[in-house]
Structure 1
Amino acid sequence: MQNDEIILGICIKGFVLQNLTRFSSGRAFMMGPLLLLFTVLFSTTTDLAVGAVSPTRINKDARTFAPGEIIWQDEFDYLDRSKWSNEINFNGGGNGEFQIYDDYGENAYVRDGILYMRPTLSLDTVFGGDVEKLYNGNLTLEGCTDENGCTRQANYPNINQPVVSQRLRTKGAFSFRYGHIVVRARMPSGDWTWPAIWMLPEDWKYGSWPASGEIDIVESRGNRNLVNPDGVNIGAEQMGSTLHYGPRWPYNGYWAAHGEKNTATNQGYDRDFHTYEVIWNTEMIQFSVDGTVIKKVEPPTGGFFELGQFPGNEVSNPWVNGTNPKMAPFDENFHFILNLAVGGAYFPNDSTPPPPWKGSSTPFLTFFENRTAWLPTWSGENAAMAVDYIRVYAA
């Protein structure tokens, strides 16, 4: 039962009790109906209040929640550093991406209740316009969050990353298991940008990626005119939601847990705000956009190992002894990540147009030198991923 329903019940009961007292002195004929109403309301609201208990867990807290109760939210009235921390690295997310992740204010900020995350050229933001530093400079990132370190020596043509952006996460501040997530956001418009609102496991109980899972709430591509060989727009007019899972790399059953949806032509996810939802409980995970279900993942009896059709003669099932074997690895706590990447493996080589770095042995340099083609599409806040709010309700 939601809090507003409980409060409504209490208010109605209070009204009835007050009027019972008043009517008893001069209008005794009202007592019967009012007592009946009171009895019905009391029994109904009491039953609801002590009814179903949610399996949702915040961090490692075993608190009890009513289904539908809001357990966490960020309305982005300001950038709350008690909720969000920066990842600082230049490892390219393991996907060959082109950005440095750091904590520059021009790359992530809140204005009028909206969080904006946008990329800029590292030549300007990091290197102060000095091309020599971009091409041959030594760069060390302060506050590095990468266990492999954050020091890089460029040596032309192997230059430093040409872009800087931000990646925010709630790791260590908020994580949860099972819930209903509602996000209202607008994707960016800008060639070769890759926005994502997603989740990773807090503790990696089942091992390194993808064994402990990944939940992609929404990701997209910023190109307005990007099509696959079938002529389908795979740029800003398409969004996707995905679960990644597998016993170990390179086994990944994402193909059985991926949904996507295209807007009408010239009405991409970069043109306006849309609502992205995830319902995650002990039986399934369901993705929706603007109220339309795009993928419902209900693992069979054998759980995600059976769903992914992994060869048991080659790899063992790491989830068989999970807390909830049917849903493992999605039976542990996950935290939120917001980021805007640029370039990388998410852009297929067979698209039209193809990525400008296709086939290049020096992709950073090739991309940077092609900037007259793509940089004009990065138009101010239009090139930003804009997030209105994130709300999480108990499952």
Structure 2
Amino acid sequence: MDNGDYFGRTAGNNLPSMASTAAGTPQRPGTPSESVGRGPFGDGFESQASHRSSGPNGNPFISPSVSRPASSFDSASGIGRFDGGQRYFHSRRVRKGEVEKPWTKQADPKEKWVTILPLIGILIGLGISGFLVWDGIRSVVKHNYCLVLEENWDNGFNEKVWLKEVQVNGFGNNEFEQTTGGDQNVFIENGNLMIKAIPQDDALMQKNYKIDLLKDGTCTSKSPAACIAYTNITTGNSSIVPPVLSGRINTKPGAAIKYGRVEVTAKLPAGDWLWPAIWMMPRDDAYGPWPASGEIDLMESRGNNYTYPQGGNNIMSSALHWGPNPGNDGWWRTNVKRQSLHTTYADGFNTFGIEWSQKYLFTYVNSRLLQVLYVNFDEPMWGRGNFPILDNKGARINDIWSHTGRAQTPFDQPFFLILNVGVGGTNGWFEDNVNGKPWLDSSPNARKDFWQAKDRWFPTWTQPQMEVSKVMMWQQCDGNEDL
């Protein structure tokens, strides 16, 4: 069959209809044998070749001509039209007018609540959130601040502002370091202040030796226990001098604030049993010895890595210490931890800050929006502590703060800033029997046990210093700082 013949017939040539072919009407002599079937374009025809192959070896997918609905053929000739009046395909499964249009039907009156109720919930939530934000802003009084200290170490270590503390007793935590006044533990490097811990000379552990800071006049304490230490190997006494040298500095000579803000930008150390801290102590013990006059911890951390169960250098904590005596310290009521975000505080510099007023005190990391500890002085600290009537010796515990009439007492006095890197200790900061801790807090040989495990902890001291790039202190100066 040539193209002219095929398309000539599709244009309306006198070809036999489906019905006449099915009925057996004789074909005209000289014309090809054809039957109406499914053509190459679904047009109701099939070629001579395809008709000839419709036998046993033919195309099994050809629809019988009798299965074609009559409506698909031209009403006059029975042939599908391809001329100017061609009719495009449309489905016969869904008849015109039978398609459902649910959007034209009338909605159930109850359906409107599917939209209204969620909107009401959203509006109520927004209203509550707005109120909480407003109440928070209202409760935080805006203050004017006057700059007290801006330290970036451009002029070296300023002894008029900073004091290097020199002691051997590990302060109140029985830490294992001796803090020195030289340049080996506190120094300026690359424009930043370094407070670095290093091991003590091993020779001082192997022979009778005495450190007497009172005798050489360098001790910054008047207590013999804070200034004298021994290594004794002849009497069976296992005491040794502090096994580590480190640094501790404070601003007591030149900068203290009563209400205001403090920011310290620092990179923390990395190494097992290191204990970095940024904190504040009262310039005068107005209400008695620690913790009666208070303590403010902006940041405390541990040099151990993130696997340490209590939290290593990926965790920092802030706390207030306050109470009538060491046995009744209310710090656990005002203590909060914060984890670093996808890193550690030893991997880069972070700004540790505090904002403190008559009505509130909060600490933060990098932004005032990232608060760590928040204390609202909306009730007297004495009542908040819920202290017992008697101490562990049966002595009566008296209210030492409420006579001031200020709810924030003892945090109503000038405080100065302290920066240090401690090591070890026996006050529980490092929990016994955790992560291979090589000493027990209750052991009289704690220092010696720690030193004898040097081969285990010293290799971890990959970064045994706290690096401080900047210190800022502001005093509240709006006329209310004397309240």
Q: Once the two structures are superposed, what CA deviation does each residue of 1:6-58 show, in whole Å capped at 9, x if it has no partner?
A: xxxxxxxxxxxxxxxxxxxxxxxxxxxxxxxxxxxxxxxxxxxxxxxxx9xxx
Q: Which residue in the other structure is 1:210 paired with?
A: 291
Letter in 2 for 1:140: D
Distance in 1 between the 2:207 and 2:337 partners? 39
Does structure 1 residue 67 correspond to structure 2 residue 144? yes
Q: Once the two structures are superposed, what CA deviation does each residue of 1:111-155 show, in whole Å capped at 9, x if it has no partner?
A: 2221110111121xxxxx5345x5420111231122212222321
Q: Which residue in the other structure is 2:438 paired with?
A: 356
Question: How do 1:143-182 residues align onto structure 2 when only pairs under 5 Å count?
Answer: 143-149=218-224, 150-156=227-233, 157-182=238-263
Does structure 1 residue 366 correspond to structure 2 residue 438? no
Letter in 1 for 2:299: V
Q: Which residue in the other structure is 2:211 paired with?
A: 139
Contact 2:301–2:317 (8 Å) recurs in 1: yes
Provide the secondary structure at the position in 2 that maps to 1:321.
helix
Contact 2:273–2:430 (8 Å) recurs in 1: no
Question: How do 1:186-265 residues align onto structure 2 when only pairs under 5 Å count?
Answer: 186-228=267-309, 234-264=311-341
Shift of 1:312: 4.8
Contact 1:135–1:160 (8 Å) recurs in 2: no
Contact 2:257–2:475 (8 Å) recurs in 1: no
The higher relative CO (CA closer than 8 Å, separation ≥ 6) is in 1
Taking structure 2 as the reference length, the TM-score comes to 0.62
Q: Which runs of 5+ in 1 are unaligned?
A: 1-54, 56-65, 124-128
Query: CA, structure 1 residues 346+239, in 2 after alignment: closer, same or farther (shift >3 Å)?
Result: farther
Once the two structures are overlaid, the 10-residue window that deviates more, 289-298 or 326-335, is 289-298
Identity %: 30
Question: How do 1:96-107 residues align onto structure 2 when only pairs under 5 Å count?
Answer: 96-107=174-185
Once the two structures are overlaid, the 10-residue window that deviates more, 69-78 or 277-286, is 69-78
Shift of 1:226: 4.5
Q: Which residue in the other structure is 2:203 paired with?
A: 130
Contact 1:136–1:160 (8 Å) recurs in 2: no
Q: Once the two structures are superposed, what CA deviation does each residue of 1:250-292 show, in whole Å capped at 9, x if it has no partner?
A: 1111112111101246x11111111111010011110111221
Letter in 2 for 1:259: V
Distance in 2 between the 1:349 and 1:255 partners? 16
Q: Once the two structures are superposed, what CA deviation does each residue of 1:205-233 show, in whole Å capped at 9, x if it has no partner?
A: 000000000011111000114533xxxx5
Distance in 2 between the 1:284 and 1:152 partners? 42
Q: Which runs of 5+ in 2 are unaligned?
A: 1-140, 391-395, 477-483
Of residues 79, 84, 87 in structure 1, which corresponds to 2:162? 84
Provide the secondary structure at the position in 2 that maps to 1:69.
strand
Shift of 1:351: 6.0
Count of aligned positions:
317
Taking structure 1 as the reference length, the TM-score comes to 0.76
Contact 2:278–2:419 (8 Å) recurs in 1: yes
Q: Once the two structures are superposed, what CA deviation does each residue of 1:44-78 show, in whole Å capped at 9, x if it has no partner?
A: xxxxxxxxxxx9xxxxxxxxxx7133222211222
Shift of 1:235: 1.0
Query: CA, structure 1 residues 350+365, in 2 after alignment: closer, same or farther (shift >3 Å)?
Result: closer
Distance in 1 between the 2:197 and 2:146 partners? 36
Distance in 2 between the 1:168 and 1:299 partners? 30
Distance in 1 between the 2:433 and 2:471 partners? 32
Provide the secondary structure at the position in 1 that maps to 2:435.
coil
Letter in 2 for 1:278: I
Contact 1:67–1:393 (8 Å) recurs in 2: no
Q: Which residue in the other structure is 1:282 paired with?
A: 358
Provide the secondary structure at the position in 2 that maps to 1:394.
strand
Structure with the greater alpha carbon radius of gyration: 2
Letter in 2 for 1:376: P
Contact 1:299–1:307 (8 Å) recurs in 2: no
Q: Which residue in the other structure is 2:376 paired with?
A: 298
